[in-house]
């Protein structure tokens, strides 16, 4: 059903693997009245579980094989083509393991979100949970942020913290953080879809 404010916002979720964040988004957006829906899921990996999760919900699932494209701009252009073809208004990176080129980021500026398993700006990049454990922090967490041309550097929308326990392993800490990722990401999408987010410099104002 179309909400009173108009058609739901179309989401394009980009995922390379397991897709648990995609699943949280699929579940949240399936609730009647949620102001967004998943319009398409795109993966760079043919066997990504995320693609299966999309198909199981009847959501278009697209595999874009990097080997079919000569360079990053060509790949990113195909990505934009797939997103536009499905009426996407917000791109959600959910464990997408490819770097997006500057042209893509500029074309979608202010319309790309990412989830990162750390309290940014601490521990950007790969294996954030391991970085946090190795650093010896007592508090870790999750961040949803807008994507800019850097790696995990864009304006922060929402964050949540979790404790780090003395006996934590990378797996146990990741699992605790993931619970927060699954809660934060749909909430950030809702705020965006309801036009309650404004980017002012590095800050995201939430109405």
The residues assigned a catalytic role are 116
Gyration radius of the chain over CA positions: 17
DSSP secondary structure of 115-135: EESS-TTSS-SS-HHHHHHHH
Of residues 114-173, which lie at the interface with ligand GRF (CB under 6 A)?
A: 115-117
Contact stretch for ligand GRF (CB under 6 A) within 1-9, 61-69, 112-120, 156-164: 112-120
According to the binding rule CB under 6 A, does residue 183 interact with ligand GRF?
Answer: no
According to the binding rule CB under 6 A, does residue 53 interact with ligand GRF?
Answer: no
Which x/- pattern, by CB under 6 A, does the window 91-110 give for ligand GRF? Answer: ---xx---------------
The CB-of-177 to ligand GRF minimum distance in angstroms stands at: 7
Which x/- pattern, by CB under 6 A, does the window 2-41 give for ligand GRF? Answer: -------------x-xxxxx--------------------
- Quick check: 39 and 10 in contact, CB under 8 A? yes
Query: Roughly what angle, to the nearest 10 degrees, separates helices 170-193 and 128-135?
Result: 120
According to the binding rule CB under 6 A, does residue 186 interact with ligand GRF?
Answer: no
* Of the candidates 178, 207, 180, the residue with the CA atom closest to the CA atom of residue 192: 207
Q: What length is written for the chain? A: 207
The residue number with the shortest CB distance to ligand GRF is 95
Burial of residue 205 (number of CB atoms within 10 Å: 0-12, 13-18, 19+): exposed
Residue 16: CB partners within 8 Å, gap ≥ 6?
A: 43, 44, 45, 48, 50, 95, 96, 97, 98
The CB-of-178 to ligand GRF minimum distance in angstroms stands at: 6
Question: Footprint of ligand GRF on this chain (CB under 6 A)?
Answer: 15, 17-21, 94-95, 115-117, 178, 181
């Amino acid at each position: 059903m179309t909400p009173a404010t108009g058609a739901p916002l179309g989401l394009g979720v980009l995922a390379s693997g397991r897709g648990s964040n995609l699943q949280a988004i699929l579940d949240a957006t399936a609730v009647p009245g949620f102001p967004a829906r998943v319009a398409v899921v795109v993966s760079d990996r043919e066997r990504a579980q995320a693609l299966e999760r999309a198909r199981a919900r009847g959501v278009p699932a697209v595999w874009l094989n990097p080997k079919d494209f000569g360079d990053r701009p060509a790949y990113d252009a195909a990505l934009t083509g797939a997103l536009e073809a499905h009426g996407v208004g917000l791109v959600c990176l959910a464990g997408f393991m490819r770097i997006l080129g500057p042209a893509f980021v500029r074309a979608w500026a202010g319309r790309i979100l990412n989830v990162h398993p750390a309290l940014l700006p601490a521990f950007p990049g790969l294996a954030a949970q391991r970085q946090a454990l190795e650093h010896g922090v007592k508090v870790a967490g999750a961040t949803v942020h807008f994507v800019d041309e850097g790696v995990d550097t864009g304006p922060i929308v929402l964050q949540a913290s979790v404790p780090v326990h003395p006996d934590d392993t990378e797996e146990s800490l990741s699992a605790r953080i993931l619970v927060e990722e699954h809660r934060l990401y749909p909430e950030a999408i809702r705020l965006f879809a309801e036009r309650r987010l404004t980017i002012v410099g590095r800050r995201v104002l939430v109405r």
